[in-house]
Amino acid sequence: MHNIVETIQKLTNIPSPTGYTTEIIDFIAADLRGIGLKPEKNHKGSLMVTVKGREEQRRRFVTAHIDTLGAMVRAVKPDGRLKIDLIGGFTYHSIDGEYCTVHVASTGEKVTGTILLHQTSVHVYKDARTAERSQENMEVRLDAEVHSAKDAEGLGIRVGDFISFETRTEVTPTGFIKSRHLDDKASAAILLDFLHRIVAEKMILPYTTCFFFSNNEEIGYGGNSNMPEHTVEYLAVDMGAMGDDQQTDEFTVSICVKDGSGPYHFGLRQQLTALCERDAIPFKLDIYPYYGSDASAAMKAGWDVRHALIGPGIDASHAYERTHEKSLEACARLVEAYLCSEMIESQPPHD
């Protein structure tokens, strides 16, 4: 787990809200080139690396996304504070009081700040405890001497500048990893670690497999426009969502049977379950009611593939998230077991 956890720490410390992912894509590309692989960018800025297997006619496609939640400057207020617009599906409550960075497009500079409710002070505002956390009430307090919109604009800040959130990544002695954006940088770290092992151990996969690092998942689309011909199976490695009525926890790999887009492929789900049972990989089957993945986006785009979704269990998704090394290990083991197995249509039927 050391390599995976270390990679998570590196990835979470690279800001990458959807639409602002060049730095992290370049980081991953350099890492893969460093072990002799040849990653390629598409026009949208995502990254794909193809690993040749024993069979090329039928292929597998595996994704994890590196784009995260974030925000943009919506307006500069008369007092120099910033109104924001959210990128991705999360609530204003989850970022109340969070440190942030404004990435100033006009200068390339970074200006730090804090996201706060306008009526934060209980000594001044009667409704400090009850005011709605909404776009109208939330703002960025810049760490700069600003008294007016002109002052903020003097820093180069304009509408459309990206805002990233402080991740506060921490690894506890008890094996927990706490951080923003474990969705989905935990899974990206798992795929990167497996790619390193493929090279180091000279592994030959049964099928040519495309590993795709998507950069638009949080806004509803990602790894599907560049899927190679002859792709038969699509595995999205993303987070498992926890909460009431959920089976997913922080110590197993979560296999999604259905999300907001509908059921995932039954046969492929059965194969993943069977692999867990064969290899004693702890797992949970689950339904994520308000969720979509790169794999489900591919289905909506009309691709004729078998699709599945797995991931480590993540607590407090789209807020200050947490998982455990046991969940990362279970997910990593299932990724390897699946990619080293035969496709379900190649396996003998059950008695």
The binding site for Zn(2+) consists of 65, 183, 218, 238, 318
56 tagged catalytic: no
Angle formed by the axes of helices 325-339 and 182-200, nearest 10° = 50
Choose among 133, 234, 189: nearest CA to 13. Answer: 189
Owner of token pair 């670690």: 193
Distance CA 147, CA 322 (A): 38
Choose among 146, 135, 148, 133: nearest CA to 97. Answer: 133
Spatial neighbors of 285 by CB under 8 A, at least 6 apart, are 247, 255, 257, 269, 273
Cα Rg of the chain (Å, integer): 21
* DSSP H or E run through 241: strand 240-241
The strands making up 176-179's β-sheet, listed across from edge to edge, are 170-171, 176-179, 321-324
Q: Evaluate whether 70 touches 85 at the Cβ level (below 8 Å).
A: no
Distance CA 297, CA 312 (A): 20
Q: Which two tokens stand for residue 181?
A: 């954006």
Distance CA 307, CA 62 (A): 10
Encoded amino acid at 180, one letter: R
Distance CA 60, CA 50 (A): 10
Quick count: other Cβ atoms within 10 Å of Cβ 175? 17
Kindly tell me the burial class for residue 229, based on how many C-beta atoms sit within 10 Å of its own C-beta (0-12, 13-18, 19 or more).
exposed
Residue from 217, 325, 329, 336 carrying the catalytic annotation: 217
Q: Evaluate whether 321 touches 240 at the Cβ level (below 8 Å).
A: no
Choose among 73, 218, 80: nearest CA to 135. Answer: 73
The binding site consists of: 65, 183, 218, 238, 318
Active site residues: 217
